[in-house]
Structure 1
Amino acid sequence: MPKILTRNAMREKLTAIDEITYTNYSKQIEEQFLRYVAASDASTIALTISSFPEVNTWGIIKQLWNIGKNVVVPKCKPSDKSMTFYQILNFDQLERVYMHLLEPNPQLTKAFTPQEIDLIVVPGIVYSEKGYRIGYGGGYYDRFLANYNGDTVSLAFKIQVVEDVETDVFDLPVDKIITQNEIFFCKQIREKDE
Structure 2
Amino acid sequence: MEKEAIRKEIIARLKTLSKQEIKRWSEWSCQAICSLSAYQEADTIATFLSMPHEMDTSFLIRQAQLDGKKIVVPKTYGKGRMVFVPYDENDLVLSSFGVWEPRSDAALDPSEIDVIHVPGLAWNQAGHRIGYGGGFYDRYLAQFQGMTVSTPHDFQRYEFREEEFDQAVRKVLYYETND
Taking the aligned partners of 1:40 and 1:176, their CA distance within structure 2 comes to 15
Change (3 A) 1:38 1:138: closer
Q: Does residue 167 of the first structure (1) align with residue 162 of the second (2)?
A: yes
List 4+ stretches of structure 1 deviating above 4 A: none
Structure-2 residue corresponding to 1:86: 85
Taking the aligned partners of 2:28 and 2:97, their CA distance within structure 1 comes to 28
Q: Could you tell me which of 125, 133, 136 is aligned with 1:137?
A: 133
Change (3 A) 1:64 1:39: closer
SS in 2 for 1:98: coil
Q: Could you tell me which of 59, 74, 97 is aligned with 1:99?
A: 97
Taking the aligned partners of 2:25 and 2:119, their CA distance within structure 1 comes to 16
Does the 8 A contact of 1:26 with 1:180 survive in 2?
A: no
SS in 1 for 2:35: helix
Taking the aligned partners of 2:133 and 2:38, their CA distance within structure 1 comes to 32
Structure-2 residue corresponding to 1:3: 3
Taking the aligned partners of 2:65 and 2:39, their CA distance within structure 1 comes to 16
- Please list every run of 5 or more consecutive structure 2 residues that lacks an aligned counterpart in the other structure: none
Between Structure 1 and Structure 2, the one with more strand by share is 1
In the TM superposition, residue 156 of structure 1 has moved relative to its aligned partner by 0.9
Q: Does residue 180 of the first structure (1) align with residue 156 of the second (2)?
A: no
Measured on the aligned residues, the alpha-carbon RMSD in Å equals 1.7
TM-score w.r.t. the length of structure 2 is 0.92
Does the 8 A contact of 2:38 with 2:147 survive in 1?
A: no
Taking the aligned partners of 1:2 and 1:166, their CA distance within structure 2 comes to 10
TM-score w.r.t. the length of structure 1 is 0.85
**Seq. identity, %:** 32
**Structure 2: which amino acid aligns with 1:81?**
G
Deviations 1:101-154 (A, max 9, x none): 1111116xx421011111111110011122011000000111111111111111
**Structure 2: which amino acid aligns with 1:149?**
Q
In the TM superposition, residue 38 of structure 1 has moved relative to its aligned partner by 7.1
- Please list every run of 5 or more consecutive structure 1 residues that lacks an aligned counterpart in the other structure: 183-194
Aligned residues: 177
